[in-house]
Amino acid sequence: MTRFQNRRPAHDDRLGANYGGGDRPRGPCDFKLWAPHAGAVTLQLLSPEERELTMEAGAGGYFSIAASDVAADSLYRFALFPRSSGEGKSRPLIRPDPASRLQPKGVHGPSRIVADTFPWTDARWENPPLHEHIFYELHVGAATAQGTFDALVLLLPAFGDLGITALELMPVGEFPGRRNWGYDGVYPFAVHHAYGGPLGLKRLVDACHRQGLAVIMDVVYNHLGPEGNYLADFGPYFTDRYTTPWGRAVNFDGPYSDAVRRYFLENARYWIRDCHIDGLRVDAVHGIYDFSARPFLAALTKSVHAEARRLGRRIHCIAESDLNDPAVIRRREAGGMGFDAQWNDDFHHALHGLVTGEKDGYYADFGRLDDLARAWRRGFVFDGRYSTFRRRCHGNNAGKLPTQRFVVYCQNHDQVGNRMKGERLTALAGFEQHKLAAACVFFSPYIPLLFMGEEYAEPAPFAYFISHGDAALVRAVRQGRRAEFRAFAWKGVPPDPQDPATFKRCVLNRDLADMPGSHRVMSAFYRELIRLRKTLPALSPLAHRGRVAAGRGAGGVMRVVRRHRAGPVCILFNFNACPAAHVLRGLSGRWRKQFDSSEARWMGQGSRAPTVFSICDGAAVSLAPWQVVLWQGDDGGKGNGGAEKKNEGGRT
C-alpha cells in the first residue's frame, strides 16, 4: 500500500465544514458544531449566494446539518440562539466556525469552506526515524521578505544543501492581524490567510517531501489568544479552576471536557491527515492542567500514534516542557505521557551561561562547566536538585531514557525572542563562542535543532511582535513585556511589539549567507558540523552517550569520548576566553583530527592541536580560546576514553 491512501475513516464525523463535492464547484457539505450553550443554531451561507439553514440538535450539545448544492468555497458563519428563548425570539450571537479551515477576512470575519482536493505527489515519502533528524525552526512571516509558504518553497534547495532533515514551523493558526509569533492563535484549524492559507501550507509540505524534508508543526493546546477568541460563546472550553500565564486555562478535566478534548484531538489528526504534517511540537505542556486519571496529553500521543499506524506513516510527537519530568517522554505503557521527545532547556541554559557569562533570571542556576557535563550525561541538569531561581528542588532523574528523547539547541524562538531586545547568540557572545556552542549541539548525543538564520550568523533580532486591533489589549501587552524582564539586568525598554518596524527588523536577510566574510564562513561551518553528524557513526544518538570529563571552576575544558564499533571520537571543548592546556590520558590506538574550529578556513585564531596522535598518555594539547577539536580513533571502539573523572586535565 502506498502511503497517504485511505486518509479518512469510513464514517467520518468531523467538526467544521466538510465538503463532499470533490473537484466540483458545487456539491454537498456537512457541517458539525459543538455548542452546548446554545438553544438553537442556524447556518448562514454568505456567498456566492445567501442562505440560512436551521441545524439539527443532537446528543451532547452537537448541532449538524447536511447541506446540498453548496459552493466549494462558500463563506459561512453560525447564528447562536440562547436557550432561554427559541429561534427568532432573541438576537443571536453571530460567530465564525471554531473548527474553521480558513479565515480569509481575519479572526472576526466569516469562515470559508475548503475542499480537500489537493493534488498530492508525496505517496512515496517516508519520514526518517527521530534519531536521524536535524530540525530547523522558523517563523513563516519573518523567514523571508514575502512572509509566505510559497516563498519558503524557493528556499528548500538551500535547506537541503545545509543538511537539515525537517522544517519546524512556529504556529500557523489564524491570529489577529498579519504579524504575530503564532501563540495568539484563536482558530487552531485555520491556517493563517496571510501566509497562504491551507493550500499554501499543502504546497509547502508537498514540496518539502519532494526535497526529502519532513515538516513539524508547532501546536498550542494550553491556551488561545485574547483577540477573536469566541470559543466560550459556544461552550465551556475554558475553566476557572486553573490559571495560566497566557490567560484562561483550557478545560481538559472538568464538566464537558470530553468534547473539549475531542476538539483538540481532531486538530492534531487534521494536521497529520489533511496536511500531511510529519510531527507535532506541542507548546508548553506544563501549561496544560489536567488531573484526570487519563490525562489529555497521553490521549493526544495515543491518538496521533494511532493515526500514524492507520496511515502507515511515522509521526513524531515532541513536547515543550519545563517540568524536567521524565514521565513526559516515558512510554504510556510505563505510565508516561508517550511523547517521542522533548525540548531540553537545561542543555541550552548550561551552554548559554558558559559562552555568554549571563547570570540573570533563570541563568542564575547555571554557569559552571559541570552543569553542561551533567546535561550531556543525564539529560536534565535539575533532576531533583535545588534551584536558586525557583527557590525549591526541581525536576526528576531521567534515568536511562534514550538520548533521542531530547531535542537540544543553542538558540530557538523562545531563548532569542524572550530576551528584551531579541538578540541572537553572535551579538551576545561573539563569533568564536557561537561556533563552539553550535559544535556542542551537533556533537551531543541528542537531537539538534537550529533556529532560522543561526546557520549564517543572522544579525537581525527576533523580538516579540503583534498586530492586535484592540487598543486596550495592545497597552496590556506592552506593560506585560516590561514586567517580564524585571528578573533580568537588561537595560533599556523592550521594542514596541505593535510597531510594524519591530517586525521588519526581524525579517531575515538570507543574502548574507553568500557574502564573503563571517556569514559565509559560518554557513560553511554549519554544513560541516551537519556532515560530520551524519557521517561519523560515533556522533549518532544511537551511539554511546560518551564519557564526559569537566574541568575545574566556572570555565575549563570539557572532554568527551563517544564510542561506536566503527571507531570512537574524542572531542575537546575549551570554554575559556584564554588559551588552555589539556592533558590527554587513556586514549589507545591512532587518532586523526576531523574537525578544528580554530583553523583558518573557519576564521579561527590558528590551531596547535595535533593532526594525528597515537597513545598520547600524558601529552598536553594546547587549545585556543573557545576552541573545539574532534579526533576520530581507528581502534574499532576499544579506546575507553580514560577514567570518567571530573576535573581531568588542566587549564591556564
Catalytically active residues, by annotation: 283, 320
Residue with cell 559565509: 520
CA–CA separation, 318 and 423 (whole Å):
26
Closest CA to 447 of 339, 572, 369, 547: 339
CA dist., res. 61 & res. 67, Å (int):
20
φ and ψ at 529, to 5 degrees? -60, -45
Judged by DSSP in three states, 369 sits in: helix
H helix count then E strand count, the chain? 15, 31
List Cβ neighbours of 535 (8 Å cut-off, separation of 6 or more).
Answer: none
309: helix, coil or strand?
helix
Q: How big is the CA angle at 271 (ends 33 and 335), to the nearest 5 degrees?
A: 95
Q: In the Cβ-directed half-sphere of 13, how many Cα atoms lie within 13 Å?
A: 7
Task: Provide Rg for the chain, Cα atoms.
Answer: 26
The CA distance from 637 to 55, in Å, is 69
Residue 155's nearest CA partner among 527, 508, 441, 531 is 508
For 452-466, the DSSP string reads TTGGGT--S------
Distances in Å between the alpha carbon of 442 and those of 361, 407, 558?
27, 11, 15
Burial class (CB within 10 angstroms; exposed 0-12, middle 13-18, buried 19+) of 278: buried
Task: Return the C-alpha cell found at 94.
Answer: 453571530
Length of the chain equals 652
Write out the three cell numbers for 501.
518596524
Residue 262 burial (10 A CB sphere; 0-12, 13-18, 19+): middle
- Return the closest-CA partner of residue 285 out of 310, 252, 255, 259: 252
Cβ-contact 413, 142 below 8 angstroms: no
d(CA 439, CA 372): 13
Q: How far apart are CA 32 and CA 410, in angstroms?
A: 44
**Which residues have C-beta within 8 Å of that of residue 344, sequence separation ≥ 6?**
375, 379, 380, 406, 407, 408, 446
SS3 290: coil
The residues, ordered by sequence, that sit 6+ positions from 256 with a Cβ below 8 Å of its Cβ are: 36, 61, 235, 236
**Cβ of 505: how many Cβ atoms within 10 Å?**
17
Q: Which of 357, 418, 316 is nearest to 554 (CA)?
A: 357
How are the residues of the chain apportioned to helix, strand and coil, as percentages rounded to the nearest 5? 30, 25, 50
Kindly report whether the peptide bond that precedes residue 245 is cis, defined as omega within 30 degrees of 0.
no
DSSP annotation of 129 reads P
